[in-house]
Amino acid sequence: MPRLIRPSRVQGFSLVELLLVLALIGILSGIAIPAYLGQRRRAMMVGDAEANARTLAMALESRKAETGIYGTGGTTWTWTASGTAPTASAGAPVFNVKGSSRMNYTTVIGANGITYTITVFDPSLNANVYSLDQAGSGAVLIKY
């Protein structure tokens, strides 16, 4: 009968090595998961801001198609995060903020009535986060 030869040292991981790996995984996930969730929340907020600004732009484009201008030159309209909005009698388009971003939307009509700029302001950051004009040029103004 052949003789079985056993290696002098059994291969494998010790308990200390396994605990060390588990501790490192715990530390890394404790850092990475909150950062990922924060980035996801910020992306949703910027997405809401962009979608709302584009909805407002479509309302302005509808007005221009009907009247030939976006509004009276030099006019400024603001929709706030608290829900206040300019009235239709002030010449503002009907626009309801959707989503959960709770930002302020300001539309400035150019002096000739054929240009506009929509600016999205985030009260929690106290900064403008998105801008859109009549040419459809949108720009994220701040990286969260």
Instruction: Compute the distance between CA of residue 37 and CA of residue 144 in angstroms, rounded to an integer.
Output: 13
Of 16-30, 57-71, 130-144, the range with the lowest mean pLDDT is 130-144
Tell me which residue has tokens 């009509």.
109
pLDDT tens readout for residues 31-86? 999 888 888 887 888 888 888 999 999 999 999 999 999 988 999 999 987 778 88
Q: What is the pLDDT at residue 22?
A: 95
Spatial separation of the C-alpha atoms in residues 81 and 83, rounded to whole Å: 5
Q: How confident is the model at residue 143 (pLDDT cuts 50, 70, 90)?
A: low
Q: How many helices (H) and strands (E) does the chain have?
A: 1, 5
- Return the beta strands (E) in 19-100 as ranges: 76-79
pLDDT tens across 81-118, in order?
777 888 777 788 888 888 776 889 999 999 999 999 99
pLDDT score of 144 more than 60 = no
